[in-house]
A and B are shown apart, each in its own frame.
Chain A
């Protein structure tokens, strides 16, 4: 079988076995690699050409270059949003420096200011949007526009995000370029966040409390939010739907040990807004698969997620309670494509020895690969402190053990 990457991924998405398990190396904002770790991998491999682009300033992630995708036999590329984080576009680039002092390219309009404590602050006009503490490795959100909302009128005064014509033009051009100049499957980053957007718009604690106490207020907010998501979704897919293979949504629903909210609260407060988006995609763009990134212990919610329209689930957080790979594959493998779960990043990759990696990768591939429905990637972003030999070993093992022997 001589397959292109795109064909290989399409087969996996259709729950069919290809020649080997497809590999995703950094094609999504939660399957990525820190730019610091990426530099170390290139150096370790003796690759001195190319330029690292810091496309995700929030999590400080690198855009994997074509030669690195080829080296790791990666099968997927990402169609980015124009402004992946904090309103900073990625149209143009300039020289920049990472927290470890290494050089890279950063978005032209990424110009954080240093405050009196040495922390870096990203501003939007007069508003501080995000902060990286001195000595830290990530930015975190500061701005919560809905935090003072107490009435429906307060909510209505704040505009919801609408995708711009500039972004739609960028998306179409970029999707076409990726489709025509690579043979990789294309993951279109959309978002469509419901609970996470609520948490960041209101502040985590206030949003969570209002989910329990002010259901009227939160339903009103989520109706407005999902209406804007639907407008954006229709526009987005009308421009890129013919090019992309999966559309990525995101909403972390779990903590380390349980779901953040009860199943009944999910059904009442969140699911209707997930279902509206996911089922619309399934109905109108059946060739574009619905991909949900949702961290944590979410096993109790999986039947509802499937019912809402999720077709591809990521990251399969193996270290969270109940996220047992054998159980998940046996119970939900016919309904879901597992995109992730190839090696645990939180415990294994952080604490293990390099020589422990191949057997762990093989064990997980053997569980997930049966009948297709699996795309290999580690559970979450590879962090800055992960040694390059571990990263290389993960992906070499994935390629070695991913074969379907056809």
Chain B
């Protein structure tokens, strides 16, 4: 097993300590930061996504893998910046106004990072103005609105309408998600993307980037 395969395997095992060791070893072996990211860390998260889709792993295993991915990414972050490697796209994520539930939204953020996206997490109780400001200041092309409760999900429509009013609707892909949200609801409010879980959302976003 070469060093990149070891990184991938350690991500799948959720072994934070080994990921750090292997990434540091790879740097010593002059493996580029871009290869560590794309051929080590991201491949590991791709395998996690497949295991999730197949129903072989659950939330605890996804979280430990994502934590390991983050640890590895942090080590190479400055090298990636220095070498001018750009993230594949920037996504703004947040739980909508009036709603403080962030479990699903956080997992979305982890899975998007696992695909190589730059993720700006606005947290919870996020207003439409905050979403748009973040899009403008980060030149983001994706927005993810999350809601857990039926009384807050209608705010997603307000976000979409606000982007229209401000002339930004066509510049971003807006995804909606959360337990009460369905494809029908997402269609009705004019969202671009709905998926039932975070892994699928990251896959759909990646497909969109690749088509562009």
Interchain nearest-CB distance for B12 vs A (Å) = 13
Instruction: Give the residue of B98, B150, B185 whose beta carbon is less than 8 angstroms from that of A133.
Output: B98
By the criterion of a CB under 8 Å from any partner CB, how many residues of chain A are at the interface? 33
The proximity string for B residues 97-127 relative to A, scoring 1 for CB distances below 8 Å and 0 otherwise, is 1111101001000000000000000001100
Q: Hey, which chain B residues are within 8 Å of A259, CB to CB? A: 58
Q: Are A213 and B14 in contact (CB under 8 A)?
A: yes
Do B106 and A205 have beta carbons less than 8 Å apart? yes
Q: A133: which B residues are within 8 A, CB to CB?
A: 97-100, 124-125
Q: Restricting to A112-143, which residues have a CB under 8 Å from any CB of B?
A: 119, 131, 133, 135-138, 140
Q: Are B58 and A261 in contact (CB under 8 A)?
A: yes
Roughly how many angstroms separate A255 CA and B151 CA in the complex, as a whole number?
18
* Contact partners of A347 in chain B: CB under 8 A: 180, 182
- Bound together, the chains give a CA A261 to CA B58 distance in angstroms of 5
List the one stretch of B61-69, B133-141, B167-175 in contact with chain A.
Answer: B61-69
Residues 172-193 of chain B: 1 if any A CB is under 8 Å from the residue's CB, otherwise 0?
0000000110100100000000
CB-nearest residue of chain A to B188: A351
A212 touches B14 (CB 8 A): yes
Q: Is the pair A257, B196 in contact by a Cβ cutoff of 8 Å?
A: yes
Do B149 and A383 touch (CB < 8 A)? yes
Residues of B within 8 A of A258 (CB): 55, 58
Q: Which of B99, B100, B150 contacts A383 (CB 8 A)?
A: B150
CB-based contact B64/A137 at 8 Å: no
A257 vs B149: C-alpha distance when bound (angstroms): 16
Give Cα A209–Cα B66 distance, bound, in whole angstroms.
Answer: 10
Which of A136, A140, A209, A257 is in CB contact (< 8 Å) with B60?
A: A209
| CB atoms of A131 and B103 under 8 A apart | no
Does B5 have its Cβ within 8 Å of any Cβ on chain A? no
Residues of B within 8 A of A (CB-CB), count: 29
A262 to B151, CA, bound (A): 30
Contact A208–B150 (Cβ < 8 Å): no
Q: Which residues, 31 to 60 on B, are CB-close (under 8 Å) to A?
A: 55, 57-60
Contacts of B179 in A (CB 8 A): 255-256, 346
Given contacts A347-B182, A385-B150, contact A135 B58 (CB under 8 A): no
Contact with B along A192-221 (1 / 0, CB 8 A): 000000000000110011011100000000
Residue from B100, B125, B149 having most chain A Cβ neighbours under 10 A: B100
Q: Look across to chain B and name the residue whose beta carbon is closest to the beta carbon of A133.
A: B125
> B161 interface residue, CB < 8 Å from A?
no
**B152 CB contacts on chain A under 8 angstroms:** 136
A350 at interface, CB cutoff 8 A: yes
Beta-carbon contact of B64 and A213 below 8 Å = yes
> Does A260 count as interface, using CB distance less than 8 angstroms?
yes
Q: In the complex, how many angstroms separate the beta carbon of B45 from the nearest chain A beta carbon?
A: 16
Q: Nearest Cβ in chain B — how far from A297, in angstroms?
A: 11
Bound-state CA distance A383–B58 (Å) is: 30
Report Cα–Cα, A260/B152, bound state, in Å.
Answer: 23
Kindly state whether residue B203 has any CB partner on chain A within 8 Å: no
Q: What separation, in Å, do the CA atoms of A212 and B152 have in the docked complex? A: 32
Residues A350 and B180 in contact, CB atoms below 8 Å apart = yes
A384 / chain B contacts, CB cutoff of 8 Å = 151
Question: Which A residues lie within 8 Å of B180 (CB)?
Answer: 319, 346-347, 350
Report how far A209 CA is from B185 CA in the complex, Å: 32
A263 to chain B: closest residue by CB: B58
Interfacial chain B residues near A385, Cβ < 8 Å: 150-151
Tell me the complex Cα distance, A261–B55, Å: 11
Complex Cα spacing A347 to B67, Å: 34
Q: Note all chain A residues with C-beta closer than 8 A to B55.
A: 258
Residues in B whose Cβ lies below 8 Å from that of A383: 149-151
Residues 54 to 87 of chain B near chain A (Cβ within 8 Å): 55, 57-61, 63-64, 67
* A45 beta carbon closer than 8 Å to chain B: no
Q: Which residues of B contact A255 (CB under 8 A)?
A: 59, 179
Complex Cα gap A265–B151 (Å) = 33
A216-259: contact bitstring with B at CB < 8 Å (1 yes, 0 no)? 00000000000000000000000000000000000000011111
Q: Indicate whether B24 reaches chain A with its CB closer than 8 angstroms.
A: no
A261 to B, closest residue via Cβ: B58
Complex CA distance for A133 and B147, rounded to whole angstroms: 14
Known contacts A131-B100, A133-B125; decide if A208 and B63 are in contact (CB<8 Å). yes
Complex CA gap A383/B180 in Å reads: 13
The residues of B that contact A204 with a CB separation of less than 8 Å are 103
**Residues A137 and B14 in contact, CB atoms below 8 Å apart:** no
The distance from the CB of B35 to the nearest CB of chain A, in whole angstroms, is 28
Across the interface, do B196 and A140 meet the contact criterion of CB distance under 8 Å?
A: no
Which residues of chain B come closer than 8 Å to A135, judged between CB atoms? Answer: 97-98
Residues of A within 8 A of B125 (CB): 119, 133, 136
Q: Write out the residue numbers on chain A whose beta carbons fall within 8 Å of the beta carbon of B98.
A: 133, 135-137
Cα–Cα, bound, A346→B147 (Å): 12
Could you tell me the distance in whole angstroms from the C-beta of B194 to the nearest C-beta in chain A?
13
Q: Evaluate whether A261 and B151 lie within 8 angstroms (CB atoms) in the complex, with A204-B103, A256-B179, A256-B196 already known.
A: no
Specify the chain B residue showing the minimal Cβ separation from A139: B100
| Other contacts beyond A136-B125, A259-B58: 6, CB < 8 A | A140-B100, A205-B106, A261-B60, A262-B57, A351-B185, A383-B149
**A→B interface (CB under 8 Å):** 119, 131, 133, 135-138, 140, 204-205, 208-209, 211-213, 255-262, 265, 319, 345-347, 350-351, 383-385
- Which A-B residue pairs are the 3 nearest by beta carbons? A212-B60, A140-B100, A136-B98
Listed A/B pairs (11) with beta-carbon separation below 8 Å? A133-B99, A137-B151, A138-B149, A209-B60, A212-B60, A256-B179, A258-B58, A261-B60, A265-B60, A347-B182, A350-B150
